[in-house]
Chain A
Amino acid sequence: MSQREAVDVVVVGSGAGGAPVALCLAEAGARVLVLEKGPYYTVRDFTHDEVSVCRRDFWVPWEHLDPHTIRKAGEPEARVTREGWVSQCVGGGTVHMSGFFYRLHAEDFRLATLTGGVRGAELADWPIDLAELEPFYDLAEVRVGVSGQAGLNPFELRRRPFPLPPLPPHPAAALVDEAARGLGLQPFPTPRAVLSRPYGGRPPCNQCGFCGEYGCENGSKSSVLASLLPLAEATGRCEIRPGCMACRIEVDAEDRAAAVVYFDPAGVERRVGARVVVVAASAIESARLLLLSAGGRHPQGLANGQGLVGKHLTFSTFGKGTAVLDRAAVVARLGGDHLDLPFLQRSLQDDYWNERLGSGLPKGGTHNFLLHHPNPINAGVRLAMDSKWTLWGQPLKDALRRYFHEEIWAEFEVFGEFLPVPGCYVDLDPGVKDRWGLPAARITMAHHPLADDVNRLMVRRGLDVLEALQPKPIRVVPWAWANTTYHLQQGTCRFGDDPSRSVLDRDCQAHEVPNLYVTDASFMPTSGGCPATPTILANAFRVGHKIAERFRRGEIPRGKL
């Protein structure tokens, strides 16, 4: 505690929410310190070793070291879980994302108005609209490198082309196009944060297919680790400090954010003064940090005078279906070339806003068509565990042989609107602590039944497409009807113009604590119908520009403790 270190800006978390802010401010001349809880991996650490990368603690520590706890709404006791983490490393979740980069649609910004409210849900319009965010989507795409084809998604508003052309699709994409168009749907190439051409000194994708759950050893995936953070460090004004666990934010006499206390890699508590504190540690962990910072005039936690920090937690609804195609039949139809390409690269957003969906809620989400991940162990486990009784012995060996030699698995994933409900929130667990002795985040989980209904209808739509494939699939399997994707999390520090109903203002600065910003997905009042990473990046660029502007105008004086 004797440290007297001070910088202009401390950013807690180095992922999609933290990196753009760090870059904007370092480029604007501020001295920036980024505290990252996880290790600083480089491309040398990224391999295709499935056991180490996907099945152990490469991204998320074991739950006895770093627990979350989870319970259903109404249950008194929560149990320890590994759910609810985004990866812990420099670059955060962008390092092991698949990089499906859909923008939000105009409807997402005014769901409360458009629906007239949904009984049992706590909908709120966003204080900004798509027009305000659109230039920052453009900026984020250019700065990280996103590939796609503008103009083919009739449901999306975008005025500028993608910086890179779409990735080459697997030949079976033509089959998905044909089936979807036959049903009156409008498939388009999936936008990806993966380079299709050399870009910014990075090589194009080598088509290995190990995107999701893996770090890209090629540097072609547009994680902030590969794209933004090297630029921030190159300014000479941004330091990234890995292995540092922020445990408390301190305020000065005027209630302005003034310092961050953290544990360094040796477990020693240190303190760094700051004129601006930016929290971007994931929706769940950012809320936890604000709650952990309770004290003095903030007995309920920082920025929590209204008791709203941690409320309105949303995830993404999730569904999945698989078509098992006969490889020989596909070859007979399409020829045998390029069947080793890994990406199907097709999406549908016909149900993103669909009054005729038939559920009573017109807001759905996105269908993403893809091939099964090349992970062999995961495929084997899925084959073994798919049915009621575990497959083993010669039947398992035969299923493996068929899967790898005779079948092609074309799948879809559904990402849908997760309606915010009072029963879904995060707070501090009263009993369970992490390895630093800090109370763990406790997730209380509830679904809105309407969101689940919409998701089921969307899964049905996806199955219709798969069943219409020619050649006809050997079988079509609904794998998940209404699940939850816990690593897609939003909403614990809503932004809004009314301080009694939101934690952050429209610039993502805390209403109650000047110079405290939250820039991960915590700000989002509603989840949107697609993975939020590009939205987090775009918003963090927007906020980064606002803070940089305040620095330039000299509006941010140095606080005193």
Chain B
Amino acid sequence: MNRFSRRACILGLLGLGTAGAWPRLLRAEAARRAAAPFSAEERGALAAACERVLPGAGEAGVPAYLEACMARAPFDRFLAPTFGRAARAMDAEARAAGGRSFAGLTPEAQDAILRRFQRGEIKGLQARPFFEHLVRFCLEGFLCDPRHGGNRGEVGWRFIGHHTCWWAPRRIDSLVRRGRTLPY
């Protein structure tokens, strides 16, 4: 077994939070995640976090973009479990602060919890790397080509103004030759 697949298994185990009967559970977990990477509660917490990380993220469709990414390889294996656990940790932090869920807190209270993630102060979680991933995916979802599901109505591109990323690819048919892309 190479080191990488060993790490993948460890990631998977942490995602489950249990070491019992793990191969079967792991398969079941993988099947569930392929269909929908997050539960309703996880989805709600992550959507609220996206909006705090990048105001306007909800309007741009960033939460849906994030979930679509996490449903696909390789993020379904390597990142989705981390995001799910982080979302549950956000809710746990919210309850500890006297709220019912992260999404139900005031923006100020949400920011206070996110700052704890940013500083890596959440136990049992690689909170700081997760937070940096979250910022990256928010920026992707805000500024990506809309065909990925984010940047809805090109709201991100309108925010940044005239830009050559808008340019539709021009096609020079005289140069187009045979050949197909591989299913990598």
Contacts and interface: CB of A to CB of B under 8 A. Distances in A.
Report if A and B associate in a common complex: yes
Contact of B176 (A42, A80, A385): A42
B8 A40 contact: no
Interface in A39-81: 39-52, 55, 57, 61-65, 67, 79-80
B5 A64 contact: yes
Contacts of B148: 49, 51-52
Contacts of B144: 49-51, 377
Interface in B3-47: 3-5, 8
Interface stretch (A400-408, A479-487, A508-516): A400-408
Given A48-B145, A51-B140, A67-B2, A218 B172 contact: yes
27 contacts: A38-B182, A40-B179, A40-B180, A42-B175, A42-B176, A44-B171, A45-B181, A49-B144, A49-B145, A49-B147, A49-B148, A51-B140, A52-B148, A62-B74, A65-B184, A79-B3, A217-B172, A265-B182, A376-B163, A380-B142, A385-B132, A385-B135, A390-B131, A393-B54, A393-B55, A396-B53, A404-B159
B139 interface: yes
A44 B8 CA distance: 35
B179 A42 contact: yes
Nearest to A215: B169
Given A380-B139, A390-B135, A43 B176 contact: yes
Contacts of A80: 2-4
Chain B facing A: main interface SS: helix
B177 A42 contact: yes
Contacts of A243: 182
B170 A218 contact: yes
Contacts of B179: 39-42, 90, 242
Interface residues of B, number: 51
Contacts of B131: 390
A381 B118 CA distance: 15
A46 B164 CA distance: 14
A41 B177 CA distance: 9
B40 to A, nearest CB: 25
Given A51-B144, A396-B54, A43 B165 contact: no
Given A40-B179, A41-B181, A218-B172, A48 B167 contact: yes
B118 A390 contact: yes
Contacts of B132: 385, 390
Contacts of A218: 170, 172
Contact of A374 (B136, B157, B165, B178): B165
Interface stretch (A26-34, A203-211, A358-366): A203-211
A211 to B, nearest CB: 11
B52 interface: yes
8 shortest interchain CB distances as A-B pairs: A40-B179, A380-B139, A404-B160, A39-B182, A217-B169, A49-B145, A376-B143, A47-B169
B164 A374 contact: yes
B160 A376 contact: yes
B143 A380 contact: yes
Contacts of B163: 374, 376, 404
Given A51-B145, A57-B184, A392-B54, A400 B174 contact: no
Contacts of A44: 171, 176
Interface string A397-428: 10011001100000000000000000000000
Nearest to A63: B4
Interface in A418-460: 431-433
Contacts of B136: 381, 384
Q: Which has the most chain A C-beta neighbours within 10 Å: B5, B55, B114?
A: B55
A219 interface: yes
A217 to B, nearest CB: 4
